[in-house]
Amino acid sequence: MDNVEVKYIYREANFCADALAKLGQGEVAGIKFFKQPPLCLFHHLLADASGVKFERLALRDKF
């Protein structure tokens, strides 16, 4: 594990991972394999395949 790289990706850049994480909150710990993507991913996968981009809105501190 000499070449490990950790990157933070905003949830807006990876809706599928965010949806799977939310789905997993209600599951028993362990590994789960899917024969097909869960229904909660349908719109996210369609948007990704279509090349839809989402902007991240961030508020700045008042200084």
Residue 62: band (very low, low, confident or very high) from pLDDT cuts 50, 70, 90: low
* Nearest-angstrom CA–CA distance, 62 and 59: 9
Residues in CB range of 10: below 8 A, 6 or more apart: 56
Q: Where are the domains of the chain?
A: 11-50
pTM confidence score? 0.60
3-state helix/strand/coil string of the chain = CCCCCCCCCCHHHCHHHHHHHHHHCCCCCCCCCCCCCCHHHHHHHHHHHHCCCCCCCCCCCCC
pLDDT tens readout for residues 18-39: 888 888 888 888 888 889 999 9
